[in-house]
Amino acid sequence: MLNLVHLQTLQAVLRTGSLSGAAKELGYTTSAVSQQIAALERALGVQLFERGPRNLWPTPAAVQMGRHAAVVLSRLEEAEEELRAFAEGKQGRLRVAAFATVSAQLLPKALGRLVARFPQAELSFQDDGGDPAAVARAVCEGRADLGLVYEYDLVPQAWPDELRLCRVLQEELVVLCGQKQLTEDPVHTDLRELSGAIWVANREDTAGHHNLLRLCAQAGFQPEVRFTSDDFDVIRGIVRENLGVALVPALSLGIDRTITMRRLRSRGPRRTVLAVHRATDPNPLIPAAVEAIRAAAAEFVVWTTGAFGVQVDSPLASTPGLSC
């Protein structure tokens, strides 16, 4: 079988015209170079050099083999460079799965950063609606490399053991109400003040719905939920028409100026956004993507201070101290 070291030695002998010259170039002894050439001749079954007392002449077979060696070694160098690019994340593939609100608010900026940093990498994205469990499954089953999921403080999730979790954002929960459903305080409210209101919430089988029920139970009442949807555009539309009030996380605020936001007086339970990936996945684009998502989250935190055109006293979300 051909040996790549033997091919490199052949190239050096052809380049320098002598065994001693090749030995000097490669850092070998002249004897070692002679042995490698002899081994290559045995492997090929052909004489590569005509040896005189003081001279060495390549045979036509050596010249032809030198051409093949140049192609093989060049392709090997290309392969090494290409795989090094994969190892550094310059090439490769990253498939991201996420839920709707983070897809709208954070992912475009994060993906923009990644494209600028890794222009040759293959980046793709799939929106799995509002179901964090579906996102986690996509990552566990290898259909996605990185997932963005969420969990409410009052509705903790049990994530698969094979996933590594990285917290990227914590969101405040705020109340949305229409122009005819204003509260006494134009900035803050508490859930007890809204005990007689009609509510619009996420579907009954979702963490968002369970979170509302548990928060209201803590406030001493059961909310009258007449409208349900996992689409926050729909929820905001119902609120805008004064059909109900809603408790939503900061990422779902939108920019509808006809909707009024009220912060809860007691900064209670929040929703946490997490990036998840398989703990065994060596993809170098994953940490770069998490870094980009955190940078987008930091920008979002700043944006929340004026989310509805009104400056608030503190952001509606936070990132400090969050880690994997």
Fold match between domain 93-171+270-296 and domain 173-264: yes
Under CATH, to which class is 93-171+270-296 assigned? alpha beta
Per-residue pLDDT of the chain in tens (324 residues, 90 and over written 9): 678 889 899 999 999 989 999 999 999 999 999 999 999 989 888 998 988 777 788 888 989 998 898 888 888 776 666 666 566 556 678 999 999 888 888 999 999 998 898 888 888 888 866 689 999 999 999 899 999 999 999 999 999 999 999 999 999 999 998 887 777 787 888 899 999 999 999 999 999 999 999 999 999 999 999 999 999 999 999 999 999 999 999 998 877 777 788 888 887 789 999 999 999 988 888 999 999 999 999 999 988 887 665 567 788 899 966 666
Compute the radius of gyration of the chain from its Cα atoms. Answer: 32
Domain ranges of the chain: 4-88, 93-171+270-296, 173-264
What integer pLDDT is reported at residue 129 of this predicted model? 64
Task: Label residue 98 exposed, middle or buried (CB < 10 Å: 0-12, 13-18, 19+).
Answer: buried
What integer pLDDT is reported at residue 254 of this predicted model? 76
What integer pLDDT is reported at residue 284 of this predicted model? 85
For residues 31 and 154, what is the distance between their CA atoms, to the nearest angstrom? 76
Contacts of 37 (CB under 8 A, 6+ apart): 6, 9, 10, 13, 19, 48, 49
Which residue type, as a one-letter code, is found at position 225?
A: V
CATH fold, domain 173-264, is D-Maltodextrin-Binding Protein; domain 2 (3.40.190)
What integer pLDDT is reported at residue 320 of this predicted model? 66
Pick the CATH number of 4-88 from 3.40.50.1370, 1.10.10.10, 3.30.70.1400, 3.30.390.30: 1.10.10.10
Model pTM score: 0.74
